[in-house]
Amino acid sequence: MAASQIGACLTPSSEGQRTLVSKRPLYYEIDGFRLSEPFGVDRFRGAVQYKPTPDDVFIVTYPKCGTTWLQEICYLIYNDGNPPENQLKRLIDTPFLEMIGPECIAQMKKPGAVKSHLPFDRMPYSPHAKYIYAIRNPKDCVVSFFYHTSQVYPGYQFADGTFAEFFDLFMKGQTDFGDYFDHVCSWLRQRGRENIHFIYFEDVKKKGSEEILKLGRFLGNDLEAKLKTQGLLEKVLERSSIKTMKEGLKDFALNKDDPSLPEGLRAFAESNEVKTASGSTSALKFDSHLRKGAVNDWRNLLTPEMNACLEAKIKRIIEPEFPELIEKWRQHGVFEPL
């Protein structure tokens, strides 16, 4: 990484094999990939080098594109509409591959799905495993990612950050997990592969039943047929609603001293401990991870200039190669004038 890319006031320093590249938000790089503090070098490398088996199912997204929602939907499909007993079980049984490391796959409940935010070129790939890739329009994504970085997870040390600052980082592809456009295009270029199912946040919002049935079909093992019996589809739909999911997260806090936490989750809890002015700390709460869950909430935050800038980038990068995605977003009102 060139010093000019890091910012005039920051000298890159290496801790182990990761490099500090930004203090506000706090970002590191491991093997040229930008991540927040909790990601360890060995766990990350182990994740990238993992060799998928035919029963592995991955839910992959760029951050803030509906990962948690899809994790819940898949869990409910696999488990007769019953959610995990508690949030800790949820984090273990729908694990985050590059945060916890590849051991999480051996430790999770099966069948189940593993979360990842890796772009296609970093993702452990096998034609025999299954991948669900979720896409959300970048206008809503950048807004959601701003709240995530500035207000939900204190470990970013960006509580005083403005949306304008974050928007600039997003446009330059300098947030954690890299550039939105590279990420989405890297996966869309694989759309001929039968073992990758593309799903769109806006479609799930508009026609949840249809999208859940398609997921069931993709996951196989008669899950689509099962969804159509004994009210399972309705159960999945209701229990994956933002209202129910928020309710389930309300009282959960992740405590770094819990001895049952895998190391990646402990690092995550430690990095995001809430520190008060008096020096006391409290455990990370999860309920604010789910915010509005709306389509076109960007209208409340993007300025006309930001909107024009983002639309120009969408036009330049996505439209020539994936015009069908532009058409989909158009139908969902993403290009309605401000």
Binding mask 10-49 for ligand A3P (x = CB under 6 A): ----------------------------------------
* Among 28, 39, 50, 69, contact with ligand A3P (rule: CB under 6 A): 69
Q: Does 186 bind ligand A3P (CB under 6 A)?
A: no
- Count the alpha carbons within 13 Å of 254 in the hemisphere toward its beta carbon: 28
| Nearer of residues 44 and 177 to ligand A3P, judged by Cβ | 177
CA angle 168, 121, 329 (to 5 degrees): 55
Q: Is 98 in the site for ligand A3P (CB under 6 A)?
A: no
Q: Provide Rg for the chain, Cα atoms.
A: 19
Tell which positions 234-253 bind ligand A3P, by CB under 6 A.
240-242, 245
The verdict on 301 binding ligand A3P (CB under 6 A) reads no
What residue spans of 50-113 are helical by DSSP H? Answer: 67-78, 87-93, 97-100, 103-107
114-116 vs 57-61, strand pairing mode:
parallel
Is the CB of 30 or the CB of 249 nearer to ligand A3P? 249
State how far the alpha carbon of 132 is from the alpha carbons of 187, 196, 216, 274, 322, in Å.
10, 6, 11, 33, 18
Q: How far is the CB of 243 from ligand A3P (least distance, A)?
A: 8
Q: Is 35 helix (H, G, I), strand (E, B) or coil?
A: strand
Helix, strand, coil shares, percent, the chain, to 5: 45, 15, 40
> What is the DSSP code (8-state) at residue 315?
I
CA 75 to chain centre: 16
Q: Is residue 67 close enough to count as binding ligand A3P by CB under 6 A?
A: yes
Whose Cβ is closer to ligand A3P: residue 144's or residue 186's? 144
Q: Is 66 in the site for ligand A3P (CB under 6 A)?
A: yes
The answer to whether 175 contacts ligand A3P (rule: CB under 6 A) is no
Applying CB under 6 A, the site for ligand A3P has a residue count of 20
The reply to whether 65 sits near ligand A3P by the rule CB under 6 A is: yes
Q: Coil, strand, or helix at residue 169? A: helix
Within 131-150, which residues bind ligand A3P (CB under 6 A)? 140, 144, 147
Binding site for ligand A3P (CB under 6 A): 61, 63-69, 140, 144, 147, 240-242, 245, 290-293, 297
